[in-house]
Structure formats: C-alpha cells, structure tokens
Amino acid sequence: MIGIMCAMREELEPILEKVKIEKEIDYARNRYYIAKYKDLDLVLAYSKIGKVNAATTATILIEKFGAKKILFSGVAGAIDSDLKIGDLIIATKTCQHDVDLTVFGYEPGFIPESKVFFECDEKLNNIAKNVAKKLGIKLKEGIIASGDQFIHSKERKEWIAKTFKASAIEMEGGAVGCVTWTLGVPFFMLRSISDSAEEGAGVDFDEFLEESSKISAEFLIEMLNEIVNEKMS
C-alpha cells in the first residue's frame, strides 16, 4: 500500500482524477480514498494545512491504512533564486524551521532525542530523477524547510535559507519527515513552486496554487508509472 498525501484539496484533486477510487472512508475528521493506479494499491488524503494536521494524516495513513511508503505532493515557496513558479523540487531532507529551543543551547530546529533534519528516501528520489531525465523535466533537489507560517518576507526567508540551507519552504514536510522517521517508513516529498516567499507571496500563491498543484500531481503520476514499470521488470 502506497500512501499519497497533500496538504490542500487543490493539491490532491488532480491526483484523484487519475486514479480509480474504490472506497472513501471518513475517519478522524478527514476523508481517506482507497484507490488503484494500474496494479498499485493506494491510500490518499489531504491533511489540511500545517504540521499538526500533516503529522496526524501521515500517522493514520501508516498505522490505520498500512501505507508502506509516503509520497507527498504539493506546492512550496521558493528560497533558491533559480526556482521559478511552476518549477519542481524534491527534498533531500526536511526540517522544522519554527522549532526554537535555542535558549537551552540547542541549534535552531533541534528537539532533544530527535534531530534537525529528516532524510527523504534515496530510492524514491532516484526514481524521480529518472522520470525527470526521461521526460526532459527540470527537477531540483534540496532541503525543504517547514513551519506553521506562510512566509512572505525577505528577511524571514533569508534567515531560513542561512540557518537550514533550505531551497524551498512549506508547512508540512518537516512534520511528515519526523513521523516517517519515527515509524521507519520511506518518505518522498515533491513540490512545485507557487510563490517567492517574499512580499506579495500571498497574491502569487492564490494565483498559482491550482496550476503548480497540477504540475506536481502530474509528475507524481509519472512516478507511479515508473514504480509500476520497475515492479514488472
């Protein structure tokens, strides 16, 4: 069973259009879709925005629905200047930029008995890179930082860039990274850029959410095709 999650309805809908939904289950104030894509068994959901919602949904996908890997698709704000609206990025690792226990001498993002960075699955990242190469799609790889804040300031963006060496920002990946690391499940994160995370980002986000969500969703479907092909070969 492969778990596919997004944060928002707009991000999940273009994926749902491409799979065969077999069952819809309402659970814990959310809807989970049991579906097939070719011979792959899928469970899909959008969590709602933010780290707590994302952690809850990731945990339910794994613990209740038996997801053996989690693939995340959606949009992000750009940090790296070479990332433009609609560009795709996969995470090498994720972190939580809003975790601050620095008063106790810990580095930003660190929680005792946990860690700052949660690595994404190398095998799934290699599948993504193969797909990008085959289709001639530009795909960046980098650190993606998460926090319960929509970033729309150059100052905050630069602090996140400097502190975590992050290439993009969103509001869920660090939480899903933590859950999947805790439960020992491979995690893959794909995002398409919706805004620059600077002043005016809110306007761009509203304008490009749908378009960038589709770009991410279409790439994720191509990855499922590649996973099917690899299973058969």
Q: Which is nearer to ligand ADE, 53 or 62 (CB)?
A: 53
Minimum CB separation of residue 54 from ligand ADE in Å reads 12
Residue of minimal Cβ distance to ligand ADE: 77
Coil, strand or helix at 13: helix
Between CA 55 and CA 34 the distance in angstroms is: 19
Q: Give me the helices (H) in 103-142, please.
A: 122-135
Residue 13's alpha-carbon distances to 7, 232, 233, in angstroms, are 11, 28, 30
Q: Which is nearer to ligand ADE, 75 or 224 (CB)?
A: 75
Q: Which is nearer to ligand ADE, 54 or 201 (CB)?
A: 201
Q: What are phi and psi of 200, to 5 degrees?
A: 95, -5
Minimum CB separation of residue 204 from ligand ADE in Å reads 8
Minimum CB separation of residue 70 from ligand ADE in Å reads 18
Minimum CB separation of residue 147 from ligand ADE in Å reads 7
Between CA 57 and CA 105 the distance in angstroms is: 32
> Contact positions toward ligand ADE, by CB under 6 A?
75-77, 150-152, 169-171, 194-195, 197, 201, 205
Q: Which is nearer to ligand ADE, 44 or 144 (CB)?
A: 144
Sole residue written with tokens 């794994």: 62
Max Cα–Cα distance, the chain, nearest Å:
53
Q: Which amino acid is at 137?
A: I
The DSSP bridge partners found for residue 91 are 142
Radius of gyration of the chain (CA): 17
Minimum CB separation of residue 105 from ligand ADE in Å reads 28
Residues 6+ apart with CB under 8 A from 231: 39
Residues 6+ apart with CB under 8 A from 81: none
Active site residues: 11, 195
Q: Which is nearer to ligand ADE, 108 or 186 (CB)?
A: 108
